[in-house]
A and B are shown apart, each in its own frame.
Chain A
Amino acid sequence: MGLSQEEIFAKVQTVLVDALGVDAEEVTPTATLRGDLGAESIDFLDIVFRLEKAFNIKIPRGELFPEDFEKLQSDPNYVQNDSVTPAGVAELKKRMPYADFTQFEKNPKLENAPSLLTVDLIVKYIQAKIP
């Protein structure tokens, strides 16, 4: 397909504007899907459908947005005192190889985990997905 990062970003931006009803200017690389763009759980399926269509790709369940967070949360190896343990962070990194953990690792509170889901995560995933 040979799209540049800018071209991928532009398409991702359109997808998020359509799926979430936000303004294009709000969709910046660092914007978080939940906190900044107001995505709710059902929007993630909508985003996946729209990305598949926009880039003509298949996104297997859980590959872009990891599932079973609830199971992870209830595992004491991964979460203790509302904080994600080093083992938990390692597990998250395995499931979200395109996420930027720099900020999260400074304060790995469970409540901060949704901030890992950013626009840039989607762009990097798509970059890796298409040749």
Chain B
Amino acid sequence: MSFLNDYIYYIGAFGLIFVGLYIILVKRNLIKVIIGLGILDTGVNLFLISVGYITEGTAPIFSRPGIDAERMVDPVPQALVLTAIVIGVAVLALALSLAIRLYQHYGTLNLRRIREQKW
């Protein structure tokens, strides 16, 4: 089981990404597509964090003297994900607001039916 031990975080992250992609490709309800977008976002963040992880690593903070700098995890992916999470929330909210407007205009959230209608 060393393969699973080595790659379980990558597998989990890409599992989330593929679940999100599948939802985006297959589902026709706009709300479900946006939920898929959120799941995909989570998967990408988890993947970036797991790339930067070091086995039995600690947070990159020198909170007390004499802390072992060799065991600190990579700070760059953490800094990227930190901002990406907040921006993901804002972009999700923007997508939901567009969905609200689409529903008010067409009276449906089914993407196939929206495509059939005229403006």
A binds B: no
Binding site for A on B (CB under 8 A): none
Binding site for B on A (CB under 8 A): none
